[in-house]
Amino acid sequence: MSNSKYIETKLIHGGIDGDSVTGAVNVPIYQTSTYKQAGLGENTGWEYSRTGNPTRAALEALIADLEGGVAGFAFGSGMAATSTVLSLFKQGDRIIISSNVYGGTFRVLDKVFKNLGVTYSIEDTTDLATLDTKVTPDVKAFFIESPANPLLTVTDLAGVAAVAKKHGILTIVDNTFMTPYLQRPLELGADIVVHSATKYLGGHSDVVAGLAVTNNKEIADRLAFNQNAVGAVLGPFDSFLLIRGIKTLGVRLDRHTENAERIARYLEQHEAVKHVYYPGLPTAQGYEINKKQAKNGGAMISFELYENYDIKKFFKALQLISLAESLGGVESLVCHPATMTHASIPKEIREKVGITDGLIRLSVGIEKVDDIILDLNAGISAAKEA
Ligand SMILES: *Cc1c(COP(=O)(O)O)cnc(C)c1O
């Protein structure tokens, strides 16, 4: 356990630091499902690994420490974390989600929880005054993201949390895009933070995992109960991989964001680029709010090529940047929201909210930035020949 107030140090020494029995500097992988009990009613505090596992417990203590919560919970995926948080609600409850919430979050609400009587409505969470008028007695929580996919829309987290507090409802923030290194929603008034740790926290595109943190003891007890009851827990080896990934989160994100800032400026001045969406650009929607609530603009950029550029040729010409779903790994990834992440949304609706066929989402990696720019340039040149 580290007493440092600095997140750079907490990333490496936070939570449970190493192994006190052997002095191992890393938390061991306790690859076990059960624990021997000395006698009836006598155990070591560990009984069964769905309920608790020391490697997972170390990860859970670490994420709680990083987000400034009282307890953390690790799950088999980001969606398992979100679903377990949503399982706190009951029939008749309604949740307000932002219009650009992660597609899987929308899907689980629309296709699973709605059938169980937990409903949702979609609102523009960037408009606090209107949001305030949407809270009817059945609304029990806001579920938001900032910046949100794929147009990097910024929502005022403290503002939304204040509206929630006024109505006595919860604020849940999906902090996947920023991580606690760049933004800590609980400090801004949120009650629960969820993560797809598959992304920046893991950081190497080699593990699927989810995390949840709360700063409310009562919610923590209920989450612990539901985590064990529902059972979508993270295994010991994947817990170890995440702890390992989190140690370098600070240095990785410093490079990710340094690269992203360079690339955003490069794209902004490019003649082929119609619009750049990046919260770190002073011209971006929500720039001032993001600056207030986050360390910087993060490392996700979306940009739109003019209609006379052939998007298919752009993707084909890329050599370094992989065309793939997901984000947040050390390698640069690019995706086409219109046909990949947001393909299920009808074209007219997509175009109306800005997810045009020319929109490209880039997860900026930590390669030498000149190489990334060279590759983007090659893609844009190839697209122009059309
Ligand atoms: C990927 C992602 C999720 C879902 O996480 P999985 O680990 O894929 O289940 C949730 N929210 C955001 C913002 C994501 O990017």
Task: Give the Å distance between the CA of 386 and the centre of ligand 1.
Answer: 35
Task: Give the Å distance between the CA of 92 and the centre of ligand 1.
Answer: 26
Rounded Cα gap, residues 143 and 83, in angstroms: 12
Q: Which pLDDT score, from 0 to 100, does residue 349 have? A: 80
Task: Give the Å distance between the CA of 104 and the centre of ligand 1.
Answer: 7
Task: Give the Å distance between the CA of 148 and the centre of ligand 1.
Answer: 12
Q: Spell out the residues 6+ positions from residue 134 whose beta carbon is closer than 8 angstroms to its own.
A: 96, 121, 123
Element (H, E) at 254: helix 249-268
Whether 242 contacts 202, CB under 8 Å? yes
Question: Quick one: average pLDDT of 85-101?
Answer: 96
Percent with pLDDT over 70 in the chain: 99
Q: 24: which 2 tokens?
A: 């191992």
In testing the pocket of ligand 1, which one of 100, 102, 325 has its CB within 8 Å of the most ligand atoms? 102
Burial of 180 (0-12, 13-18, 19+ CB in 10 A): buried
In testing the pocket of ligand 1, which one of 112, 198, 300 has its CB within 8 Å of the most ligand atoms? 198
Residue with CA at minimum distance from ligand 1 atom 6: 78
- Between 369-384 and 249-268, two packed helices, what is the crossing angle to 10 degrees? 40
pLDDT at 386 over 80: no
309-337 pLDDT tens trace: 999 999 999 999 999 999 999 999 999 99
Q: Which atom of ligand 1 is nearest to the CA of 81?
A: 9
Question: Quick one: average pLDDT of 227-235?
Answer: 98
pLDDT at 75 over 60: yes
Please provide residue 9's backbone torsions phi and psi, each rounded to the nearest 5 degrees: -80, -40
Pocket of ligand 1 (CB under 6 A): 77-79, 102, 104, 145, 149, 174, 176-177, 196, 198-199, 208, 210
Percent with pLDDT over 90 in the chain: 92
Query: Which range, of 63-67, 97-101, 192-196, averages the lowest pLDDT?
Result: 97-101
pLDDT at 344 over 90: no
Q: Which pLDDT score, from 0 to 100, does residue 1 have? A: 56
Rounded Cα gap, residues 311 and 149, in angstroms: 20
What strands lie across the sheet with 210-214, from one edge to the other?
Answer: 71-75, 210-214, 192-196, 170-174, 139-145, 94-98, 119-123
Q: What is the mean pLDDT of the chain?
A: 96
> For the whole prediction, is pTM greater than 0.75?
yes
Which has more confidence, 79 or 101?
79
Task: Give the Å distance between the CA of 128 and the centre of ligand 1.
Answer: 25
Residue 156 a catalytic site member: no
Question: Quick one: average pLDDT of 175-181?
Answer: 98
pLDDT at 121 over 90: yes
pLDDT at 136 over 90: yes
Residue 102 a catalytic site member: yes
Residue 50 a catalytic site member: yes
Residue 287 a catalytic site member: no
Task: Give the Å distance between the CA of 36 and the centre of ligand 1.
Answer: 36
Amino acid at 92: G
Whether 99 contacts 76, CB under 8 Å? no
In testing the pocket of ligand 1, which one of 176, 179, 183 has its CB within 8 Å of the most ligand atoms? 176
Which is catalytic among the residues 10, 30, 102, 255? 102
Provide the residue count of the chain: 386
Which has more confidence, 3 or 261?
261
Q: Which pLDDT score, from 0 to 100, does residue 2 have? A: 67
- Between 249-268 and 236-247, two packed helices, what is the crossing angle to 10 degrees? 60
